[in-house]
Amino acid sequence: MVNSVSVFRTRAQGIVTAPVLVLAHGAGAPADSPFMELLATALSGQGVTTVRFEFPYMEQRRRDGKKRPPDRKPVLLDRFRKVVAETCGSFDSGPGLFIGGKSMGGRMASLLATESGITDVIRGAVCFGYPFHPPGKPDRWRTDHFQALQRPIKIIQGTRDPFGRKAEVDERGLDALANVNLSWLEGGDHDYRPLARQSESREDLIRQAAARAAGFMIGQE
């Protein structure tokens, strides 16, 4: 068990040794938000154990109930590194240890995937709804570090995500980079909500995301 940081652990169903995913939340919702709960459950069903944690600003919000902006990037990355280090000593990662997150959490995971200290112990990263750019600001892309990735990352994105829609992401040719693997959920927005006319529900798209993430992790031997 990770001792110095509170975690939410969801073990893989029916599997003794499974990939372990250290999973960070997004900017506005905690580690036990409905999205994160659904995702952790879906990943468990796909044979992945998740370790969810919270960044310091979200821990403080849990204590006093006051909303506040995310910590600065160095603080976020320090917390992520700490949880990864403690997870390494606390879990049998079986087929491998991975890092990932929702939106901002996924971005932090991708930044860690450029660092030798972290990439010595992880096999890759998974980003659920990557914030390629702020909504309405397609001139501010957050992908410069992709060229420096030392481990593969899997990005699972809704096709109508305002943080990076399929057409504009395809236009930049990011999928051609050696360590970037893009996967698209048809009709999904940033939280994987589908169009009203679609037959799939949000839960269906989250399950699809979990299946694709598990396939990526199990394939990284």
CATH number for position 51? 3.40.50.1820
Going by pLDDT thresholds of 50, 70 and 90, the confidence category of residue 1 is very low
Tokens of 43: 């990943």
pLDDT at residue 8 in the model: 80
Residue 87 belongs to a domain: yes
Residue 175 lies in a domain: yes
Query: Rounded to 5 degrees, what angle do the CA atoms 73, 120, 90 make?
Result: 85
Residue 146 lies in a domain: yes
**Number of folded domains that form the chain:** 1
Structural domain range at position 137 = 7-219
Report pLDDT for 12.
Answer: 78
Query: Does any domain span residue 58?
Result: yes
Threshold 0.75, pTM exceeds: yes
188-219: pLDDT as tens digits: 999 999 999 999 999 999 999 999 999 999 88
Residue 18 lies in a domain: yes
Which contacts of 113-116 are long-range, i.e. CB under 8 A and separated by 24 or more positions? Answer: 113/149, 113/150, 113/151, 113/153, 113/179, 114/145, 114/148, 114/149, 114/150, 115/150, 116/150
Q: How far is CA 37 from CA 31, 51, 119, 203, in A?
A: 8, 11, 27, 11
- 1 is a domain residue: no
Average pLDDT over every residue of 11-16: 69
| Strand blocks (E) in the chain | 7-10, 20-24, 49-53, 97-102, 124-128, 153-158, 180-185
pLDDT tens, position by position, 110-165: 999 999 989 999 999 999 999 999 999 999 999 999 999 999 999 999 999 999 99
Has residue 167 been placed in a domain? yes
The average pLDDT across 174-181 equals: 92
Distances (CA, A) of 121 to 5, 88, 90, 99, 192: 19, 8, 13, 10, 30
Residue 4 has pLDDT above 90, yes or no: no
Residue 203 lies in a domain: yes
| pLDDT classification of 221: cutoffs 50, 70, 90 | very low
Distance CA 109, CA 124 (A): 9
